[in-house]
């Protein structure tokens, strides 16, 4: 199982999900930042993605290459993400490697969809939101309540 997301709030919103899956079955893909180093210090498998991704075509391509390599080598069954941009290559490439994808929209965007959610939703097998109000923003979503 891959947990793919930016550091900061995106990572924080995925951390509660660790209770549901054993450490041996988790691979984290995020940015090497202070908060991520602290939050993931006890995790067995962490892969550092290229940062920054905002307006950086170079890092988008580097992260796409990283996604290709990791998906080809490790063949995860499921990819879970709360965004942001680092998730996009994993969702696009997931189809080639037979991985199922779950996108969880961040809890702080209630009135409008995030860019990453708009980009990833066509590739998502399951689209989850944290507020009932967010269900109006996407087709076929399930509201799960706040993760934090």
pLDDT exceeds 90 at position 52: no
Closest by Cα among 116, 71, 73 to 95: 71
State the greatest distance between any 2 C-alpha atoms of the chain, in Å, as a whole number.
Answer: 39
Phi, psi of 88 (to 5 degrees): -55, -50
Q: What pLDDT, on a 0 to 100 scale, did the predictor assign at position 26? A: 96
pLDDT exceeds 90 at position 139: no
Query: pTM score, two decimals?
Result: 0.94
pLDDT exceeds 90 at position 53: no
Q: What pLDDT, on a 0 to 100 scale, did the predictor assign at position 55? A: 81
Please give the Cα distance from 104 to 51 (Å, whole number): 21
pLDDT exceeds 90 at position 130: yes
- The whole-chain average pLDDT of the chain stands at 96
Closest by Cα among 58, 54, 93, 55 to 73: 93
Q: What pLDDT, on a 0 to 100 scale, did the predictor assign at position 88? A: 96
Query: Which secondary structure element, helix H or strand E, spans residue 36, and what is its range?
Result: helix 34-39
* CATH class label, 2-143: alpha beta
């Amino acid at each position: 199982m891959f947990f793919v997301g930016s550091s900061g709030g995106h990572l924080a919103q995925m951390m509660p999900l660790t209770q549901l899956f054993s450490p041996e079955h988790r691979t984290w893909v995020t940015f090497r930042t202070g908060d991520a180093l602290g939050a993931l210090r006890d995790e067995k498998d962490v892969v550092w993605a290229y940062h920054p991704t905002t307006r950086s075509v170079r890092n988008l391509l580097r992260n796409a290459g990283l996604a290709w390599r990791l998906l080809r080598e490790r063949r995860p069954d499921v990819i879970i993400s709360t965004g942001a941009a680092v998730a996009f290559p994993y969702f696009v490439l997931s189809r080639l490697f037979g991985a199922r994808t779950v996108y969880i929209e961040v809890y702080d965007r209630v009135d409008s969809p995030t860019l990453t959610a708009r980009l990833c939703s066509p590739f998502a097998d399951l689209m989850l939101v944290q507020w009932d109000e967010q269900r109006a923003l996407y087709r076929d979503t399930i509201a799960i309540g706040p993760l934090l």
